[in-house]
Amino acid sequence: MAIQSKQSSLLPVYLIAGEDELKRETVMKRLFARLSKMGDMSFNFSGLTCTGEEVITAANTLPFASEVRLVLVNDVDKLKKADSELLIAYLKEPCETTVLALEGQKVAKNTRLYKAVSAFGSKAIIDCAPFARKDLGNAVRSIAVGHGITLTQGAAATLIDLVGTNTVALDAELKKLSLSHR
């Protein structure tokens, strides 16, 4: 059940879940960039305020002048149970021209929504769990390379000690370092 495109196949649904905000942002940027080349990006919802019916209506609407439409639901873990159940029902027969991206911090693996998404395969679930403290130094060094700078292991550890373990804050500080020390 994958959407066929000129670039590669896409699944009809993705669950981007985890407490690491930077990872979730990165995944969403990549998905948006991939689909913006061929898709209609007009529907974004918040799980705090939308209804399941609104999301399903958007997902079942054919894309305008494109192959595929991205429907994004932020804070999917904040959806009311009845709205979540409507999404689960939609996932039994999703629209072939829609990619439904469900993004949230805490979506338990034992929920019906998680199980409905996982039925589309392991690539449908994108885990954005925070890095373990022991792995955070290597992650910071990798993020730094993305900003065009190189850090030693000691420098990465010092930055973590000063800034904390929030990857968004670490990324912001690395951006500042890259701009001031080119």
Q: What is the mean pLDDT of each run of 10 residues along the chain (182 residues)?
A: 54 92 90 77 81 92 83 92 94 92 91 94 92 90 91 92 91 90 70
Q: What are the structure tokens assigned to 135, written together? A: 């792995």
Q: Are 84 and 113 in contact (CB under 8 A)?
A: yes
pLDDT score for 7: 39
Strand partners, 17: 104, 127
pLDDT score for 4: 45
Using alpha carbons, select from 88, 76, 86 the residue that is nearest to residue 128: 76
3-state SS, residue 126: strand
pLDDT score for 5: 43
